[in-house]
Amino acid sequence: MAGAGTAAAYPRKRRFDRARPGTRLKAGRERSVTGTRTPQLHIRAAGEHDLGAILALYAQPEMDGASTTPERAREVFREIARTPGYTLYVGESDGNVVATFALMIMPNIGHCATPAGVLEDIAVAPACQGQGIGRALVAEAMRLCALAGCYKLTLSSNMRRAAAHAFYERLGFERHGYSLRIDIPQRG
């Protein structure tokens, strides 16, 4: 979601409610989330078999408008799986993958050795938007960060995505700091 001219956002501290110990989502496990507007949603760590659906979510015009090849996605997924603290999640409704996000929980020497969370690549299927699914994904990311003892959860969003910014602010995120970006030339 990072793009040229991004603004970093952090959730307000009052939103970081501590979850009960022992409720951590483990790879391959599901967490059911329901709400008044949210259909039954199961959030779980993604598997390689989910990549087709994830690529379709990222190909939406509001997202990248395109996605990588299935072969490259498999390579990257395997790299993510080998990276401690980095997990790709999916949200399922009625057995279909309807949403995804990535969460990195980073060890940190600063801030008294307190970890930090980075939330990236949130996508919800167009037909499922406005049903509370995005809210449930962010709530799960916040819960996982609280369990890990994170002092903050950050995300970035392209400056053009005003509706997404308003959504994140309704969830308690605040514009904070100043985010800079430089594109790294790719080797040919």
Residue 56 is part of a domain; what is its CATH number? 3.40.630.30
Residue 41 lies in a domain: yes
Greater confidence (112 vs 31) lies with 112
Three-class SS state of 166:
helix
Encoded tokens for 184: 């790294």
- Asked whether residue 9 is assigned to any structural domain, the reply reads no
> Is 3 domain-assigned?
no
Q: How far apart are CA 29 and CA 43, in angstroms?
A: 8
CA distance 133 to 38: 6
Name the average pLDDT for the chain: 81
Containing structural domain, residue 140: 22-150
Check whether 124 has a pLDDT greater than 60.
Answer: yes
Classify residue 143: in a domain, yes or no: yes
Within a domain: 88: yes
Report the pLDDT averaged over residues 118-146. 94
Query: pLDDT tens digits, residue range 42-93?
Result: 999 999 999 999 999 999 877 766 778 899 999 999 999 999 999 999 999 9
Buried b (16+ CB within 10 A) or exposed e, 42-77: bbbbbeeebbebbbebbebeebeeebeeeeebeeeb
**Residue 160 resides in a domain:** no
For position 64, what pLDDT does the model report?
67
CA atoms of 19 and 147, how far apart (whole Å) = 6
As a whole-number percent, the residues of the chain with pLDDT over 90 amount to 54
| 165 belongs to a structural domain | no
pTM of the model: 0.76
Rounded to whole angstroms, the Cα distance separating 65 from 112 reads 40
The mean pLDDT value for 157-166 works out to: 81
Count how many domains the chain has. 1
Domain presence at residue 173:
no
